[in-house]
């Protein structure tokens, strides 16, 4: 007899040979994160905010003028509580010496490392592409443990050409649970970002999140990534599952990009009793050297209110 699945079961449609993922019932769904005490938030800054100045490991920039060490200095100068050391700006070959140099610098400047990230895609069947993405994610779990980062933001990915979303979701779920097991043994949480693909909408995101059978998992809530008729409604729906939050200064409503109401974003997080980091990830057109300190000051006032 096959054992009963803990969160979901896979059904094979014989005629088409298509694997469909059916997710657990409400009785088995992961519950919103329970947080004691009042909502409490601290401000961090994502290195992605200065992407045009930082060297990128995937696409080298000969004219890069900033290092991750410089970025940590800016986080301290701006009065942040923490720094998010986005993975794209790390060197291709990462040594323990380099990890501990960044860790020491952040600590001596009074900064936590709020999180890091990995540019993965979990929408692959068993094979070399899946193995490569699993290995990459596990590598960053090891790195995050050494760095002292409590959470890694991960991605789901999109359905490859010729496959269905149901297949892709089933593959993604398998990968997430395998990586959560690995991450949990290192004391690191994985936060799934609402970043298009198979988690394009809030219901798609939460259906997948609720199916994952791991206490080392939650949502990396990107406040600029829901593109619907009411992104604030979607943010409020996902907020109870957030393990970290990225704050964007813009939202997209019915296809129109507009300035975000940061107070409204912080208020809905407070209503969800969120306790954790709000990480400014600046993407708008204004020069980040001008805009970032301005928005950080606004965030600091809002979380202190």
Give the model's pLDDT for residue 2. 42
- Identify whether 21 is part of a domain: no
Q: Are 184 and 144 in contact (CB under 8 A)?
A: no
- Identify whether 164 is part of a domain: yes
pTM beyond 0.85: yes
Query: What are the residues whose beta carbons fall under 8 Å from the beta carbon of 124, sequence distance 6 or more?
Result: 130, 133, 157, 160, 171, 175
Quote the CA–CA distance of 206 and 237 in Å, as a whole number.
9
In three-state secondary structure terms, 260 is coil
- Identify whether 69 is part of a domain: yes
Which of 277, 234, 230, 292 minimizes the C-alpha distance to 258?
A: 230
Q: Are 231 and 266 in contact (CB under 8 A)?
A: no
- Identify whether 297 is part of a domain: yes
Which of 29, 48, 33 minimizes the C-alpha distance to 279?
A: 48
Triad 217, 8, 117: Cα angle to 5°: 25
- Identify whether 26 is part of a domain: no
Number of domains present in the structure of the chain? 1
- Identify whether 143 is part of a domain: yes
Quote the CA–CA distance of 156 and 117 in Å, as a whole number.
13
Domain that holds residue 248: 39-304
- Identify whether 269 is part of a domain: yes
Kindly report the CATH number assigned to the domain that includes residue 92: 3.20.20.150
From residue 302, give the alpha-carbon distance in Å to each of 257, 284, 305: 23, 20, 5
SS3 content of the chain, % helix, strand, coil (to 5): 40, 20, 40
Give the model's pLDDT for residue 60. 65
From residue 17, give the alpha-carbon distance in Å to each of 11, 65, 163, 167: 10, 52, 11, 11
- Identify whether 1 is part of a domain: no
pLDDT tens digit at each of 305 positions of the chain = 444 444 333 332 332 333 333 344 333 456 788 888 899 999 999 999 999 999 987 766 667 789 999 999 999 999 999 999 999 999 989 999 999 999 999 999 999 999 999 999 999 999 999 999 999 999 999 999 999 999 999 999 999 999 999 999 999 999 999 999 999 999 999 999 999 999 999 999 999 999 998 999 999 999 999 999 999 999 999 999 999 999 999 999 999 999 999 999 999 999 999 999 999 999 999 999 999 999 999 999 999 99
């Amino acid at each position: 007899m096959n054992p009963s699945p803990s969160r979901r079961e896979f059904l094979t449609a014989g005629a088409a040979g298509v694997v469909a993922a059916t997710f657990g019932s409400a009785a088995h769904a992961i519950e919103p994160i329970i947080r004691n005490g009042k909502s409490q938030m601290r401000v961090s800054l994502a290195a992605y905010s200065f992407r045009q100045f930082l060297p990128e490991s995937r696409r080298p920039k000969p004219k890069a003028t900033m290092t991750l060490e410089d970025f940590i200095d800016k986080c301290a100068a701006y009065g942040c509580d923490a720094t998010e050391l986005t993975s794209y700006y790390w060197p291709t070959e990462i040594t323990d010496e380099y990890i501990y140099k960044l860790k020491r610098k952040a600590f001596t400047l009074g900064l936590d490392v709020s999180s890091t990230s990995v540019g993965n895609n979990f929408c692959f069947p068993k094979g070399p592409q899946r193995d490569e993405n699993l290995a990459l994610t596990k590598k960053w779990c090891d790195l995050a443990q050494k760095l002292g980062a409590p959470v890694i933001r991960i991605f789901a990915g999109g359905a490859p050409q010729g496959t269905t979303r149901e297949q892709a979701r089933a593959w993604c779920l398998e990968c997430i649970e395998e990586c959560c097991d690995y991450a949990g043994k290192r004391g690191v949480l994985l936060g799934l970002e609402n970043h298009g693909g198979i988690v394009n909408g809030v219901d798609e995101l939460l259906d997948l999140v609720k199916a994952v059978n791991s206490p080392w998992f939650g949502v990396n809530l990107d406040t600029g990534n829901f593109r619907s008729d009411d992104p604030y409604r979607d943010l409020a729906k996902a907020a109870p599952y957030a393990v970290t939050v990225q704050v964007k200064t813009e939202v997209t409503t019915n296809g129109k990009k507009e300035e975000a109401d940061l107070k409204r974003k912080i208020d809905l997080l407070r209503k969800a009793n969120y306790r954790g980091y709000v990480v400014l990830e600046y993407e708008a057109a204004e020069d980040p050297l001008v805009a970032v300190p301005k928005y950080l000051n606004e965030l600091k006032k809002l979380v202190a209110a």
